[in-house]
Amino acid sequence: MKRILIIVGALLVVAAIAGSALKGRDKAEARVEVGKVEAKDLTAIVDCSGTIEPKRKVDVSANAMGTIVKLAVAEGQHVNQGDLLMEIDPSAYKSAVDALQAGIRSSRADLELAEASVEKSKLDLERAEKLYAEQLASEEQLANARTANRMEKARVDAARNRIKQLEANLASARHDLDKVTITAPMTGVITRRNVEEGENAIMGTLNNPGTVLLVIADLGTMEAWVEVDETEVVDVQLGQTAKVTIDAFPDSTFTGHVTEIGNSPIRTRTGGSQEAIDFEVKITLDGTLPNIRPGLSAKAEINVAERKQALAVPLGAVTVRDYPLKSADVRRYPGRRAKAQEKALKDLGFVARSAKADTAGDSKIKRKETEGVFVMKDGFVKFVPVKIGIAGENDFEVTGGLTVGQTVVTGPFRILRELKEGARVELQKKGKDGKGRGGKDKGAR
């Protein structure tokens, strides 16, 4: 009898323990928000900002130094190629031209005298040769006549070369004189005028650029010059489409396409020793923009990738967890164990972020923090590793591991961060005030 009582008591204790365990198992460990795995069209976008600039513009600088005596255009005025823009005081340049012209006239007169002297020396030489043949002149007299003839010919050559030099100088002086009259190098709009009549125009040198007098721009084709972060510029390609919004036209959206990607980084000091690195990207806008002005602030969304009916999960569903790599997976690959583990992880589609060694039996199994989602079924969650593709506005593309219609945990973040494999959860519902409250899981799949 005593033995029977002991057995019954033991059974009651076991039943109590089992009931307590089942009761604890039935109790939810966390209240979560969920979303669905869906097939969606996804577009990856790079957000950037910058300014609107003309595709073609010309900075008009001075090629001659002097005072601006005539200014023929105003800012905002439309000009055609060849139209007069301004004139610099031509007095000094005109004087140089007049002096060179006078010098050429004088040199030509000297040339005529030298040519006449050559004719005289030639006659003297002929006479000396005739007298010498008749033995009426000495050999010395004949030599002097020949020398005099050569000297006069040399003077003629020198006079001709002097004239050529002066003519070259005159052409240069006339070119300088022409530069005081500045005309439009292209058809466009005067978008900037930096000088007034009476101011001095300064020429630039190799290391010191001159004054930019005017800026002429073709406003028919405009570009958005935007700065793209170094982590995103690698996804930007020529020809990709973009949507551009201009702060001055908040109700309008303009389209364009990428036409240039900078190779030189733009380095910006952000405080301390940190340095932001961006790259300039130019987006040519489609069509003409009314009342557009260079320098307007703009924002752009560049479409860097598109997926049609891709497998998608909400952005908040993706998290990271330690995922063990099985020895069977490692043995598939030859070579050193660490490299084999890395290769196996990549082949399985896991994104490694950090690594630590764990001991399982007599072999070490590599564990990796891998991206994945918690799939919810019958009130319990299971961590499923996934490979992430492009990021849409609200969803991530995933390749493999999931099927359309599955329920995945999307938050709250603090819960998702600490959620464990196999945990019991219930849905967090929103009340009338918009705040979350607990609720029973009605069999979400």
Tens digits of residue pLDDT in 131-167: 888 888 888 888 888 998 999 899 999 999 999 999 9
Predicted pLDDT of residue 351: 42
Task: Please state the rounded mean pLDDT for residues 347-357.
Answer: 42
pLDDT the model gives residue 21: 46
Give 389's pLDDT tier (boundaries 50, 70, 90).
Answer: confident
Q: Is 66 helix (H, G, I), strand (E, B) or coil?
A: strand
- The reply to whether the predicted model has a pTM over 0.85 is no
Task: Enumerate residues 6+ apart whose C-beta is below 8 A from 398.
Answer: 37, 311, 312, 313, 373, 386, 387, 388, 389
Is residue 360 scored above 50 in pLDDT? no
Backbone angles phi, psi at 201, to 5 degrees: -95, 130
pLDDT class of 329 with cuts at 50, 70, 90: very low
Does residue 372 surpass a pLDDT of 60?
yes
Q: CA-CA distances (angstroms) from residue 113 to 147, 159, 163?
A: 18, 10, 14
In sequence order, the 6+-apart residues with CB closer than 8 A to the CB of 196 are: 68, 71
Q: Can you state the angle between helices 91-133 and 139-179, rounded to 10 degrees? A: 170
Tell whether the model's pLDDT for residue 277 goes beyond 50: yes
Residues 6+ apart with CB under 8 A from 207: none
pLDDT of residue 285: 94
Q: What is the pLDDT of residue 392?
A: 85
Q: What is the pLDDT of residue 137?
A: 83
Contact 365, 277 (CB under 8 A): no
pLDDT at residue 314 above 60?
Answer: yes
Total H helices, total E strands in the chain: 7, 22
Distance CA(408)–CA(384), nearest Å, equals: 10
pLDDT, position 5: 53
Assess contact for 410 and 400: CB atoms under 8 A: no
